[in-house]
Structure 1
Amino acid sequence: MLSSLHICNFALVQELDLEFGPGLNTITGETGAGKSLIIGAVQLLAGGRATPGSIRRGAKTCEVSGIIMLGGGDEQLRHQLEEHLQAAALPPCEDGELLIRRVLTENGSRAYVNGAAVTAGFLREIGEMLIDIHGPHDNQTLLQPSRQLSLLDTYAGLQQQVQHCRQLHEALLAIRREMAALRAEGMAPEDIELLAHQLKEIEQAELREDEEAELVERYRMATHAKRLLELVTQCRDGLAENDGSVVDQLGGFLRLLREIEQIDAARGEVFAADLGRISESIQELCVDLADYAGGLELDEEAFQQLEERLDLVQKLKRKYGGSLSEVLATAGRIRERLGRIRGRSDAIRKLQEREKEQQQAFLVACTELSAGRHAAATGLANAIEDKLQSLGFAKAAFAIQVSAAPVGASGADAVEYAFAPNVGEDMQPLKAIASSGEMARVMLAIKTVLSDADKVPILIFDEIDANVGGRVAIRVAAELAAVGSRHQVFSITHLAQIAAAGRQHYQVSKSVVADRTLVAVASLDDDGRLAEIVRMLGADSGSAAAQSHARELLQQAAQTSTSGKS
């Protein structure tokens, strides 16, 4: 239920804080007092259109916020709302409280849910789940064909069958999407031959992902082999091969050090050993150089093969990717695609068989659903028609028309609620009803009959009392109170009978302060209610008869509420 509403700088409202209770909340006041402003504020919370003209003159911004308590009476709705918030990555409802805030400026509007920014479209989505507004400011989900169908299904207890039908429909669509994807893979024989050739070209190359760097290095070395051999040969010759080489000279130096050793044994031995190690290192270097030179020798045939391998790698890279890893990945994709294409005919045949079986099961589910809807439509229509007659449409007729429609997730039926308010008039769809007063009472009748099936928790009725009086007014009041036992109901009314039926009563008034018009809303106590109902009866405040009548209305409403009669 809507537990609180804060309005700031909205039209003629400067600042207003209201607390609401469960059941029927009645809102009254003189004509033109501004009662519709409350509906306008709630409509903003439900994602309604926001315009800069709604901002109070002289203010830069307008703000409307409300707290909706999600009670434990409808776990399905609460779970659905929480899933909706989670899917949008929004904060959850703490302690079952949903906080909605709308801020209007001259440049547009911003919306927030539980403190996080959302779009007006998202606000409308959750608004449809939580609030129905019936009257001049319509947010009437019951006018939507899908909603009418859903309510009939709920009344008939067909929810599981509907869910089963949706699952079969989705499975059927999935099969068809898979077939479409396979057919899209269809190619001309020459295109398949080209793919096969490309795959063969890559596979025959027997590529390794890391071989390119190795080939490049080998080629670089091969192209410089002659110069490297020259350099190695010069080094070896100079170090050990030629006369007067470094090794020969070190031998002469070693003999000199041996002579030093004969004179100074301690130091000479060290010098000789050091030089000996140097000589051994040079000789080992010469061996390594010889081995290195042996590896540099590359015959023409091997060099040609290396060049051809490099050319092949570059060619494949140009055709199939910028690196060997990309070339190999291309081969994998071609291989997979050819596999799908070659197995496509068999796969399509199997899918066609599955499609036939799935479609048959889906059509059976649609037929069962249609039978259940036709069976329930008359009973629901008769119940609504009875309610309409008690609400002042003594000769009204109501029908629920179930007709064939293209098959879809919800089956193969189109449902439309039709209404004829007077004898001799043709049935018309609800959306064709011109009078908002008629519409509101039709909606009240439907809400009363379907109050257990309809899970929208907050209902707002405006002009429910249009062209109503006498006993019909008392009946309308009783029906509103009955719906209030299962929903939170707001009724903006000019009828004392309806005002008296409310569990909470709010009075809207207009005043002029400092040459500015202000709208205020007061929650009435018992004395305040009595005085307001006397005013609504059109009597002076001191009229004893009017006060007696007002008390009688309040007592009658209290008794009806206590006894649970509708």
Structure 2
Amino acid sequence: MLRGLDIRDMLIIDRLELEFQPGLNVLTGETGAGKSILLDSLGFVLGWRGRADLVRQGAAQGEVIAEFDIGPNHPANAILAEAGIEADDELILRRVNTAEGRKTAWVNDRRVSGEVLRKLSEVLIELHGQHDDRGLLNPRGHRVLLDSFAKVDTLLSATRSAWRGVAAARKALEAAEAKIAETRAEEEFLRHAVGELDKLDPLPGEEAELDTKRRLMQGAEKIRNDVAQALNALGYDGAEGAMSNAMRWLDGAADKAEGRLDNPLAALARAMDELGNAQRGVEDCLDALEFNPADLEMTEERLFAIRGLARKYNVQPDDLAEHANGLRAKLDLLDGGERDLADLKTAMEAAQASYDAAATELTAARTAAAARLDAAMATELAPLKMERAVFVTTVTATEEGPEGRDEVAFTVATNPGAPAGPLNKIASGGELSRFLLALKVCLTDEDSSVTMIFDEIDRGVGGSTADAVGRRLASIAKGGQVLVVTHSPQVAALGQHHWRVEKRQTETQTLSTVVPLGDDARVDEIARMISGDRITSEARAAANALISAAS
């Protein structure tokens, strides 16, 4: 509820403090007295985009403070939490505009952006008038309004959840399809490469081993001749025979050498052992140097094949086996991916089926609610002298999305047989006001947390129609708060709280103020609205009659 409005140095207001009440609050006054300035000032503190020249001439800055009462479950609390502002039962918005045009805003003494103010305004205030393109006249919001009337929160939640399921399943399917398509594009290469590598089957370290073997075979002839000569030199006709003779001769002389030959004999024995080791090693080498020329050719062919594949696949020879495993894994992904793809398609179909079921149920609920709303509108339009008008809520198919696949539009035909069309294209000014009021009555909850402002919504109507308009406004105000700017005495008489907007002029300036009216002043104001500047006794009597009838 809007509890108070404090305006300083805005347009033709120097200082104005207003305290509003629950129920139906009416603001009246002569044309040009400044009623629109109140709405401009309220819009300014709520962050609405409006006129730029708001600061009163000669003032350094203008300021507006709006105080609201909000409960613990008010939707404003979520916006405050998101902005990092501690919530309280009292919400104070303050905004300053300097003469140079610089704007600064605070919420509960915390500096905020205009965007935070605008978010708060959406849950604090609703403004309705003949030129209201932010609310009921905006076709993009008709579906939201119908959903609120239909009370389909549970169905909406289920549809949004199902839509998220479809989106997730589609994303997984598309990712898998892209991966498989990417792999399939190189399938021929992969199968050829894996076959080629598997056929050769290179082993880590094999390239170095083959290179060593090849070099050994290439120089084997020359090495073998030298090694054979060395073996002969070490054999019985060479070193072995000479050392054996020497040991035999020394052994025969040892008995007479008084032990002097013991050490030389021991050394020769050791040398004979090492000589034997050397002979065996040389013999093994000779055996290894024995090769078939075809072996060299085969060794070279495999060595060159390994090196060729390493260059082809741009890897080290020892990494060829690992590279083959990687390519084989891609092929496995392709083969297994086809099976996974089938599962993902099944999941996608199931998610789409769930969404279709939820969206279909939501469409049915909206269609049924549209019929109820049309019937309720017919009931509301009759007292407003529009019993021949036809209000139709159309629910048509549109592209599916998180909130279903329905497009909702409010259309009207002001006379039977006349073509139906959008509210703001078909209805005249007075008719439009009554359509908007009837629609708002049908859509408003009994206990609304939003303060509703109606700016001359009764324009163009009078008599019993104006009385019906006033009674509909009073009905909306039950359990909530409604502010009405009106020129209709019938509407003013139904107000629970009444303010008169006045304009005072001096030689140097023009100022606007708002005066709360007591019982007598209220009668005079309604009488003025009936008769004009000259208030007659008949006008006062008529005013009293209107007030009595409204009680």
Instruction: Give the letter aligned to residue 53 of structure 2.
Output: G
Structure 2 residue aligned with 1:400: 393
1:86 aligned residue (37, 56, 81): 81
Taking a change above 3 Å as real, the CA distance of residues 516 and 341 of structure 1, as seen in their structure-2 partners, is farther
Q: CA deviation at 1:181?
A: 4.3
Q: CA deviation at 1:363?
A: 0.4
Is the 8 Å Cα contact of residues 448 and 479 (structure 1) preserved in structure 2? yes
Structure 1 residue aligned with 2:229: none
Is the 8 Å Cα contact of residues 414 and 427 (structure 2) preserved in structure 1? no
Is 1:379 matched with 2:377? no
Tell me, in whole angstroms, the C-alpha distance in 2 between the residues paired with 1:35 and 1:2: 17
Taking a change above 3 Å as real, the CA distance of residues 18 and 483 of structure 1, as seen in their structure-2 partners, is same
Structure 2 residue aligned with 1:429: 422
Taking a change above 3 Å as real, the CA distance of residues 416 and 346 of structure 1, as seen in their structure-2 partners, is same
Tell me, in whole angstroms, the C-alpha distance in 2 between the residues paired with 1:177 and 1:4: 52
- Superposition pairs for residues 251-266 of structure 1, below 5 Å? none
Is 1:166 matched with 2:160? yes
Taking a change above 3 Å as real, the CA distance of residues 19 and 371 of structure 1, as seen in their structure-2 partners, is same
Is the 8 Å Cα contact of residues 46 and 124 (structure 1) preserved in structure 2? yes
Question: What secondary structure sits across from 1:418 in the alignment?
Answer: strand
Give CA-to-partner distance per residue, 1:56-95, whole Å, 9 cap, x none: 11223222221121247xx3xx1x33222222x3313212
Q: CA deviation at 1:188?
A: 4.7
Is the 8 Å Cα contact of residues 392 and 468 (structure 1) preserved in structure 2? no
Specify every segment of 5 or more residues in structure 1 that has no aligned partner in the other structure, as ranges: 198-203, 206-333, 559-566
1:519 aligned residue (504, 512, 521): 512
Taking a change above 3 Å as real, the CA distance of residues 8 and 431 of structure 1, as seen in their structure-2 partners, is same
Structure 2 residue aligned with 1:70: 70
1:470 aligned residue (463, 469, 483): 463
Q: In terms of mean alpha carbon deviation, does 549-558 or 477-486 score higher?
A: 549-558
TM-score, scaled to structure 1: 0.67
Is 1:420 matched with 2:413? yes
Q: In terms of mean alpha carbon deviation, does 421-430 or 505-514 score higher?
A: 421-430
**Aligned Cα root-mean-square deviation (Å):** 3.2
Is 1:140 matched with 2:134? yes
Structure 1 residue aligned with 2:33: 33
Taking a change above 3 Å as real, the CA distance of residues 471 and 339 of structure 1, as seen in their structure-2 partners, is farther
Taking a change above 3 Å as real, the CA distance of residues 514 and 156 of structure 1, as seen in their structure-2 partners, is same
Q: CA deviation at 1:340?
A: 12
- Superposition pairs for residues 68-467 of structure 1, below 5 Å? 68-71=68-71, 75=73, 78=74, 80-87=75-82, 89-95=83-89, 97-105=90-98, 106-135=100-129, 138=132, 140-183=134-177, 187-188=182-183, 346-433=339-426, 435-452=428-445, 455=448, 457-467=450-460
Tell me, in whole angstroms, the C-alpha distance in 2 between the residues paired with 1:35 and 1:13: 11
Q: CA deviation at 1:433?
A: 4.8
Structure 1 residue aligned with 2:4: 4
Taking a change above 3 Å as real, the CA distance of residues 486 and 392 of structure 1, as seen in their structure-2 partners, is farther
Instruction: Give the letter aligned to residue 30 of structure 1.
Output: E
Taking a change above 3 Å as real, the CA distance of residues 338 and 398 of structure 1, as seen in their structure-2 partners, is same
Tell me, in whole angstroms, the C-alpha distance in 1 between the residues paired with 2:39 and 2:47: 12
Structure 2 residue aligned with 1:215: none
Instruction: Give the letter aligned to residue 32 of structure 1.
Output: G
Aligned residues: 417
Question: What secondary structure sits across from 1:16 in the alignment?
Answer: strand
Tell me, in whole angstroms, the C-alpha distance in 1 between the residues paired with 2:41 and 2:186: 64
Give CA-to-partner distance per residue, 1:23-70, whole Å, 9 cap, x none: 111000011111111111222233311443122112232222211212
Q: CA deviation at 1:415?
A: 0.6
Taking a change above 3 Å as real, the CA distance of residues 110 and 390 of structure 1, as seen in their structure-2 partners, is same
Q: CA deviation at 1:490?
A: 1.0
Instruction: Give the letter aligned to residue 372 of structure 2.
Output: G
Instruction: Give the letter aligned to residue 458 of structure 1.
Output: T
Instruction: Give the letter aligned to residue 534 of structure 1.
Output: A
Structure 2 residue aligned with 1:508: 501
Tell me, in whole angstroms, the C-alpha distance in 1 between the residues paired with 2:527 and 2:476: 26
Q: CA deviation at 1:424?
A: 4.2
Instruction: Give the letter aligned to residue 83 of structure 1.
Output: A
Question: What secondary structure sits across from 1:54 in the alignment?
Answer: coil
Is the 8 Å Cα contact of residues 396 and 419 (structure 1) preserved in structure 2? yes
Question: What secondary structure sits across from 2:127 in the alignment?
Answer: strand
Instruction: Give the letter aligned to residue 6 of structure 1.
Output: D
Taking a change above 3 Å as real, the CA distance of residues 341 and 41 of structure 1, as seen in their structure-2 partners, is farther
Give CA-to-partner distance per residue, 1:81-135, whole Å, 9 cap, x none: 3222222x3313212x222222223244233333333333333233222222112
- Superposition pairs for residues 474-489 of structure 1, below 5 Å? 474-489=467-482
Structure 2 residue aligned with 1:19: 19
Q: CA deviation at 1:544?
A: 2.4
Structure 1 residue aligned with 2:54: 54
Question: What secondary structure sits across from 2:544 in the alignment?
Answer: helix
Question: What secondary structure sits across from 1:426 in the alignment?
Answer: coil
Question: What secondary structure sits across from 1:53 in the alignment?
Answer: coil
2:489 aligned residue (479, 493, 496): 496
Q: Tell me which structure has the larger Cα radius of gyration.
A: 2
Tell me, in whole angstroms, the C-alpha distance in 2 between the residues paired with 1:517 and 1:37: 13
Is the 8 Å Cα contact of residues 47 and 120 (structure 1) preserved in structure 2? yes
Q: CA deviation at 1:486?
A: 3.5
Taking a change above 3 Å as real, the CA distance of residues 121 and 435 of structure 1, as seen in their structure-2 partners, is farther
Tell me, in whole angstroms, the C-alpha distance in 2 between the residues paired with 1:50 and 1:450: 27
